[in-house]
Amino acid sequence: MLKVKALISSLLLVCLLVLAVSGGLLYFGKTGIVWGISRNTLRVAHFWVAVGFCVLAVLHFSFNFRFYLAELRRR
């Protein structure tokens, strides 16, 4: 289980970095092609990576829900 949690956390980090880069390129790159990739392809990739990020975030939260509750009870 620990390896699954580590994999999910790592994938979340990768998704976050991809979202930051693709979001920055979409926001600041006003031309039709960025790094040889069309804006439309970049938009679609950004969207699907965001969907993956949301799914991974739900999994991450569900695996760590007991820890979260324990932290809330501590206060």
At 37, is the secondary structure helix, strand, or coil?
A: strand
Q: What string of H, E and C letters represents the secondary structure of 38-58?
A: EHHHHHHHHHHHHHHHHHHHH
pLDDT given at position 17: 97
| Position 28, amino acid | F
User: What pLDDT digit, counting tens, does each position of 50-75 carry?
Assistant: 999 999 999 999 998 988 888 888 86
Predicted confidence (pLDDT) per residue in 2-50, tens digit:
899 999 999 999 999 999 999 998 898 877 787 788 899 999 999 999 9
